[in-house]
Amino acid sequence: MPGDECPAAGAKRPASFSSDDGPDQHDAQTQQDTAPSVPFETAPEQKRTKLKHKGKRKEYQARKSNADETVLDAIELLLEATWKRVGKDASETEIPKAFGWAEEDKQGETSFCRAPPVPAKLSGGDIAECEFDVYVHEVSERGLGIATREDGEELEKLVFSKDRPWAFVVPFVLRGEKARVRSVRHEWGYTQADLISVIEKSPMRVDAPCEYFGKCSGCQLQHIGHKDQLEFKREMVKRAFSNAHPAFAGLTISEVIQSPLSFGYRTKLTPHFDIRKDTPPDQVSIGFNVSGQRRVLDIEDCMIGTDAVRRGMVEARQNAKAKMAKCKRGATLLIRETNISKDDPDGDVSNTPTADLVKGFVLDPRSWITDVVEDVKFRFPASSFFQNNASILPAFTGYVREELQKWSRSLSDSVDEGELKYLIDAYCGSGLFGITCHSGFKKVMGIEISTESISCANNNAKMNGIDNCDFVLGDATKIFEKVDTDPKHTAVVIDPPRKGSSPEFLDQLVTYGPRVIVYIACGVPAQARDIAYMQNKGAIVADNEKPDSASSQTAVYRIASVQPFDLFPQTYHVENIVTLVRETRNE
């Protein structure tokens, strides 16, 4: 942040806080997705300006978002599970159609829905209208409680009568708890609520060590012990696959591999601030969003950041406050850990042994980062994507490497197929998987749409003395147009953004038919959806099935393993690795 300009003045925060760059839950771009939205009070002059309308104001209509889909899936699962539990007594197994919303019913206000309490912003100050007790029956994959005003027994009676209770989404609660909440806003088929207090606590609940937990939207699971967090994430992976396709209901999900550090692990933080006309510069909050709100919570320290990042956060806040009076708009700050030389902190570390490196931090997005995975060094711009938990990366990349080597050894016993000789790294970025998994392959080919990332990947291979890697510029959806290796001897590693792969890419992948596919995902529902797409195309067979020799499908795969990793403790995010192995068909 040179000179006297506003810090990160060029990093204006977008109106849409969504990101496909991975589970960066402390980045401003993903803050609103971590909890329900709660309206906040704006300055009177801002209110008057915003409420000026010409003519009649349009009636508000709820619009279904991805977050709504996630919540509604959890609600449907709760109702179906309850129906199956009580419906047996009535000798009925079919789920009542009333458990789904009518297509034309945008608000979900059908005859079988109870009128929910008035949201706080519409109560006219009457707190009695918007505060009440709820019972938490389930927790969604985003760590949000699914609650009703009925307890378990009342819920069963209601569902047995084929009626539908109104659901409330509450952050920071656990299954089986009774809580006091405040209704905030009606969404598509449910109401968002704030947690006031927990009346009856779950045995799983622990005291969160962070003073900001329960207000900050960055972490969602600090009230759960780490072992229970791992089981929660395993269940989330299982649920994602079961929802994606009935054939995946019995899929074996391995226990989640935990991070060596449950706090102090995060190598990147991006706190932000907003400029408001009614807020003096010395009172501007710098931090992360309040849970469920677009208002920024002032945060002086973040416990999940590494020691270097926490030192950097202190300096970044000081720099921002010193220049705040000159800022005309909000901005996002960047604090990122890097490895520097003990003797020359500002010097080139390309040839410095990893044992001689120490941890430092950068605040300038234009700076370069040096990260170390085992003994392999990676250089990339501070503004680009790279996994943000260095403590688990050796195990994470090591698992992918072992999967490739394990199947190469296994396939080498086959006279018809033979060992794996080639590796294709799709969505390769700076070359993390291609470089760490290069050993044992004749050639590694990586592809990426970013010119900068391709340059970094090739330079990283050269810096580490690796000569069998070649990273090329191109669209991953057309990657196989450039591939000339024999698919029987080729493995493909894919690590797409959170939104997953496209049908076009998956079609090309199956048509090419590599012997092994390792699918790495930060967005597990998207990963499950992609594999379900392959299943529907006839490219996946279950454990007890054999490939159909009459099928026109080029390649058919079996799911060999599903292995989740806890890269982001204290949050709902989970990384997942699925290994697919091509089956041999009797032609």
CA angle 118, 119, 120 (to 5 degrees): 115
220 Cβ partners below 8 Å, 6+ apart? Answer: 34, 35, 142, 143, 144, 171, 172, 570, 571, 572
Residue tagged active-site, from 216, 219, 302, 522: 522
388 Cβ partners below 8 Å, 6+ apart? Answer: 22, 24, 266, 267, 268, 567, 568
| Site of tokens 């408001």 | 276
76 assigned to active site: no
61 touches 107 (CB < 8 A): yes
Helix (H, G, I), strand (E, B) or coil at 457: helix
The CA radius of gyration of the chain, in Å to the nearest whole number, is: 26
293 touches 34 (CB < 8 A): no
Distance CA 181, CA 188 (A): 19
**Can you name the residues that pair with 200 across neighbouring β-strands?**
178
What are the backbone dihedrals phi and psi of residue 469, each rounded to the nearest 5 degrees, phi first? -110, 135
**Helix, strand, coil % over all residues of the chain, rounded to 5:** 30, 25, 50
456 assigned to active site: no
| Long-range Cβ pairs for the range 59-68 (8 Å, 24+) | 61/106, 61/107, 62/106, 62/107, 62/108, 62/186, 62/187, 62/188, 63/188, 64/188, 65/188, 67/33, 67/142, 68/187, 68/188, 68/189
Q: Name the pairing type of β-strands 168-171 and 190-200.
A: parallel
Which tokens sit at 453?
């990332």
Which tokens sit at 31?
């803050």
145 touches 138 (CB < 8 A): yes
Distances (CA, A) of 176 to 137, 139, 145, 147, 179: 6, 10, 10, 10, 10
Which alpha helices (H) appear in 149-275, and where do they start and end?
Answer: 152-160, 226-244
Residue tagged active-site, from 141, 337, 403, 575: 575
Beta strand extents in 478-544 (DSSP E only): 490-494, 516-521, 540-541
Which tokens sit at 238?
């299982």
Distance CA 325, CA 282 (A): 8
Distances (CA, A) of 84 to 145, 168, 243, 439: 21, 22, 17, 51
List residues with catalytic annotation: 522, 575
